[in-house]
A and B are shown apart, each in its own frame.
Chain A
Amino acid sequence: MTAAGRPGIGWWLLILPALVLLLVFYVAPILQVLAISVTEPEPGLGNYERIFTSESVQRVILTTLRICLITTVLALLLGYAIAYAITLATPRARGWWILAVLVPLWISVLVRAFAWVTLLRRQGLVNNTLINAGMISEPLPLVWNEFGIVVGMVHYMVPFAVLPMLASMREIDPRLLAAARGLGASRGQVFRQVFLPLSMPGVIAAAVLVFIFSLGFYITPAILGGGKTLMVAEWISLQILDLIRWGLGTMMATMLIVAILVTLAVFSRLVDLRRIFGSGA
């Protein structure tokens, strides 16, 4: 940006009221809550010590990371296939595809989680069908465990994976693909050596988005995990609302925020985050 294009002090004064509002009503209360993690039950870093000493704290962190990683990988694989199909589709078909991707976003996450419960429970549609078909004799444990959580979360996350990857794929000049084939590359080689590398910014964007989103997931794991598999958000709510252990709950909330910031920091080294989240040129 040139000196002439740099916003002057006048511009900062214009956004000052909004900035103050944010600080007073948003940032300050959050910091106040997070500060509880070093004041309760007694001042000090006692709560943070638990990360290294408490097995249950470690377990919930590991479970969360594992579920988030699996969800991210699966959502990316499914999302990539869908985005690829949309990119290759005719303009008419593309409209329907995008609608099909967006519709789930408009349905309440609660409704979708319960829909999965009815599908996956012991007498659910999936188990009944498999038993009637004679493929299994006992119902499979499909819900109230990690499997159920992953199914529900992947379902929720696929649209968020599709959209950034689709945007990135649609920026790829189709002439590059034709050129690659004209130069002797098979369809597979065109995909691996030209299409895939050129769509990587979208894949990374989708990975960041899905992973960060997954870390703080609450409703889906709470319903599909059946209280047996705990992820961070549900664990925090348990500590604060049921066990009234504010110090421990806010410690984990702080860790969650730190994890998100660290993820963003790492990926911002890899790609231009402003492009991912749609601002900037």
Chain B
Amino acid sequence: MSAAGHALGILGLTKRYGSFTAVDDVSLDVGQGEFLTLLGPSGSGKTTILMAVAGFVAPTAGSILLDGREITPLPPEKRNFGMVFQGYALFPHMSVAENVAFPLRVRGLSRADREAKVRAALDLVQLGAFAERLPKQLSGGQQQRVALARALVFEPNLLLLDEPLSALDKKLRAELQEELKALHRRVGRTFVNVTHDQEEALSLSDRIAILNHGRLIQAGAPGELYERPRTRFVADFLGKSNFIEGAVATADAAGFVLAAGTARIAVRAPAAPEGTRRLLSLRPEKIALLAGEEAADNVVEGRILAWSYLGSGFALRVETASLGELRATLPAWQAAFAPAEGLPVRLGWSAEAAVPVEEDAP
């Protein structure tokens, strides 16, 4: 299969159902060969966007562009997009090989051409030995791979994936995530994936677009979104976060000091006018347990309210005098640490750890 990625443009896409707005003015560019994930809770409009790109949903406003060319009015069968549906939608009356051959047959390819391409596509997903089986004779993971082979066999301009791994159990999901990622590298096509699973989004994607209530909240590389969430929703949905609210007490070129409760938090960030309200997002794993007189940019003291063992570490809920409750996760290897309820602890984090975020528009 030749590497031929195409660029997708979504421009001011809006979809209303009566008075309900499913997608609200979303604009997004997907680069050639990029793996983009639309991530959001249910009802965030991510599937509607995918269906509009596929041509199953007619947008109320806005347009879909492929390599800069308008394709909004084209019906799904004219777009040449491969799609893996939720639940796979394999044709139950056709064998695996016939399923994979379907897009070739409707394009009028000769039997010989079909057979060669079907074999190549099944080999790509390591299912060559299952060509004559019926879909119901395969496991969930195998069905998923047939759906992938069927969506890729006709060398589509774009591969669209609608919650491709949601029907699988956790272990298989992790395995197929890796396979999907490897497949993306091998075929070099543009993939657009929809999921509500933030771990899947983080591990698979080149770029993630986070949606809520039909609006695009933030788009960027996984690390960028995780490290510098723009709003409270992004910080909360992608991973876990503590939120600290306060007023800017002093500010200089390096950052500012936030007065939150009785605490003074040093933040390295673009300066903000004194007196303005600011919200900080602080990831639990960026909080360290300080021993003895160890110092940090920010130090608070408190007592452990509750704790749980995660295998790889500990998750603590700490009641602090100055900031209320904070969540912290500590790697288990860090120290010989025996947590107990009521145990006094000192927590510390650097000035870069907490990042200012915006409150979301209602």
Binding site for B on A (CB under 8 A): 173, 175-176, 178-186, 189, 193-194, 197-198
Contacts and interface: CB of A to CB of B under 8 A. Distances in A.
A183 B56 contact: no
Q: Summarize A's interface: helix, strand, loop or mixed.
A: helix
Given A183-B154, A184-B106, A193-B106, A178 B85 contact: yes
Contacts of A181: 56, 75-77
Contacts of B80: 184
A89 B54 CA distance: 23
13 contacts: A173-B87, A173-B89, A175-B87, A176-B91, A180-B91, A180-B102, A182-B54, A182-B55, A182-B81, A182-B82, A182-B85, A183-B77, A184-B107
Contacts of A189: 106
> Would you list the 10 A-B pairs with minimal beta carbon distance, nearest first?
A179-B89, A183-B103, A185-B106, A182-B83, A175-B89, A181-B76, A182-B76, A189-B106, A197-B93, A184-B77
B92 A183 contact: no
Contacts of A198: 91-93
A261 B54 CA distance: 51
Contacts of B102: 180, 183, 185, 193
Nearest to B78: A184
Contacts, number: 64
A191 to B, nearest CB: 12
A179 B83 contact: yes
Contacts of A179: 83, 85, 89, 91
Contacts of B75: 181
B96 interface: no
Contacts of A176: 89, 91-92
A183 B361 CA distance: 39
A92 to B, nearest CB: 16
B118 interface: no
B77 A186 contact: yes
Contacts of B77: 181-186
A132 to B, nearest CB: 47
B151 interface: yes
Nearest to B103: A183
A23 B85 CA distance: 55
B56 A186 contact: no
Nearest to A173: B89
Interface string B38-82: 000000000000000011100000000000000000011100111
B327 interface: no
B74 to A, nearest CB: 12
A178 B150 CA distance: 14
Interface in B111-153: 150-151
Given A182-B82, A193-B105, A193-B106, 13 more contacts: A173-B89, A175-B86, A175-B87, A178-B56, A178-B89, A179-B91, A182-B77, A183-B77, A183-B83, A183-B106, A183-B150, A184-B107, A185-B77
